[in-house]
């Protein structure tokens, strides 16, 4: 069985500690709760990477809210590069028409996945649609997307942990770290 210590050995640098993440998520929750006071919010999260962020963020927003989950995957590309061609594996389970929707994402890299999702969700006629991402890598952006709530801006490095994976591993790390390039060398 793989031990957490073995997973941690593949990490070159811890970028965001568990404490830094928790504190920033609490800030975001306060900001979102203030902005949506008096309204009923629907949080839409995208599996699987956003799972820990969604679970922590929703508990920092003391408003009546609904949650829904989508799962998408990109065609082609590699384990570290998204192709922008998105396939919906799991769709919303309820209508978001006339709802105030906040899309909760783990990371925006090129922005291609999010661009697709925003268009898709707009097509469902929500009353409003805003974007909240824990991590933002603006250096790699290929499409311009307005981000309403951002946890951390990070450099152009491939990161794992707190939901983010490489080849489906490392999601259970409690921090966000930079994967040693030798782990994905030869990809």
Q: From the list 69, 82, 101, 136, which residue makes contact with ligand IMP (rule: CB under 6 A)?
A: 82
120 binds ligand IMP (CB under 6 A): no
Angle formed at CA 17 by CA 13 and CA 74, multiple of 5 degrees: 70
Provide the mask over 122-161, with x wherever binding to ligand IMP is found by CB under 6 A and - wherever it is not.
------------------------------------xxx-
Just list the catalytic residues.
109
| Axis crossing angle, helix 51-58 with helix 18-35, rounded to the nearest 10 | 60
Write b or e for each residue in 105-119: b if 16 or more Cβ atoms lie within 10 A of its Cβ, otherwise e. bbbbbbbbbbbbbbe
For residue 178, state whether it binds ligand IMP (rule: CB under 6 A): no
Residue 109 in contact with ligand IMP, rule: CB under 6 A: yes
Is residue 164 part of the contact set for ligand IMP (CB under 6 A)? yes
Q: Alpha-carbon torsion 46, 134, 131, 154, what sign?
A: negative
Residues that bind ligand IMP (CB under 6 A): 49, 82, 106-114, 158-160, 164
């Amino acid at each position: 069985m793989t031990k957490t210590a073995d997973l941690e050995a593949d990490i070159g640098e811890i970028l965001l500690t568990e404490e830094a993440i928790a504190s920033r998520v609490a800030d975001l929750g306060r900001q979102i709760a203030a902005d949506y006071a008096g309204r009923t919010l629907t949080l839409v999260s995208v599996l699987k990477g956003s799972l820990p962020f969604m679970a922590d963020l929703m508990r920092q927003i003391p408003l009546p809210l609904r949650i829904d989950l989508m799962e998408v995957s990109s065609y082609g590309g590699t384990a570290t590069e998204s192709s922008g061609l998105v396939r919906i594996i799991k769709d919303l389970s309820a209508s978001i028409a006339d709802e105030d929707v906040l899309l909760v994402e783990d990371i925006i890299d090129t922005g291609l996945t999010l661009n697709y999702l925003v268009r898709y969700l707009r097509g469902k006629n929500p009353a409003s649609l805003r974007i909240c991402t824990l991590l933002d890598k603006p250096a790699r952006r290929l499409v311009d997307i307005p981000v309403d709530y951002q946890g951390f801006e990070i450099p152009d490095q491939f990161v794992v942990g707190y939901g983010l994976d490489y080849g489906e591993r490392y999601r259970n790390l409690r921090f966000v770290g930079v994967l040693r390039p030798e782990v994905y060398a030869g990809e």
